[in-house]
Amino acid sequence: MSAGQGAAADPFVRLEGVSHVYGGAAALKAGTGTLAVDGLDITIGRGEFAAVVGPSGCGKSTLMKLATGLQFPVGGTVSVAGEPVTKPVKIAGMAFQAPNLLPWRTTLDNLMLPLEVVEPHRRRLRWNKAEYVDRAERLLASVGLAGFGDKFPWQLSGGMQMRAALCRALIHEPQLLMLDEPFGALDAFTREELWCVIRDLHQRTGITVVLVTHDLREAVFLADRIFVMSARPGRILVERTVGIARPRDLEITYTAGFQEIVHELRGHIVEARR
Ligand X SMILES: Nc1ncnc2c1ncn2[C@@H]1O[C@H](COP(=O)(O)OP(=O)(O)OP(=O)(O)O)[C@@H](O)[C@H]1O
Q: Return residues touching ligand X (CB under 6 A).
A: 22, 34, 36, 56-62, 232
Separation of CA 85 from chain center:
17
| Minimum CB–partner distance for residue 232 and ligand X (Å) | 5
Q: Given the complex with ligand X, which of 47 and 55 has the nearer CB atom?
A: 55
Rounded to whole angstroms, what are the CA distances from 25 to 34, 190, 206, 234, 237?
A: 9, 42, 38, 17, 24
Q: Given the complex with ligand X, which of 44 and 136 has the nearer CB atom?
A: 44
| Minimum CB–partner distance for residue 59 and ligand X (Å) | 4
Q: Given the complex with ligand X, which of 13 and 140 has the nearer CB atom?
A: 13
Grouping H, G, I as helix, E, B as strand and the rest as coil, residue 260 is helix
| Minimum CB–partner distance for residue 267 and ligand X (Å) | 18
| Minimum CB–partner distance for residue 10 and ligand X (Å) | 27
| Minimum CB–partner distance for residue 184 and ligand X (Å) | 9
| Minimum CB–partner distance for residue 85 and ligand X (Å) | 17
Q: Are 79 and 37 in contact (CB under 8 A)?
A: no
Q: Given the complex with ligand X, which of 56 and 100 has the nearer CB atom?
A: 56
d(CA 185, CA 44): 27
Q: Comparing C-alpha atoms, which of 79, 152, 147 is closest to residue 109?
A: 152
Q: Are 66 and 18 in contact (CB under 8 A)?
A: yes
Report the alpha-carbon angle 62-271-95, nearest 5. 30
Q: Given the complex with ligand X, which of 143 and 231 has the nearer CB atom?
A: 231
Q: Given the complex with ligand X, which of 44 and 228 has the nearer CB atom?
A: 228
The CB density around residue 117, as the number of other CB atoms within 10 Å, is 10
b/e per residue, 86-96, with b = 16+ CB within 10 A? Answer: eeebbbbbbbb
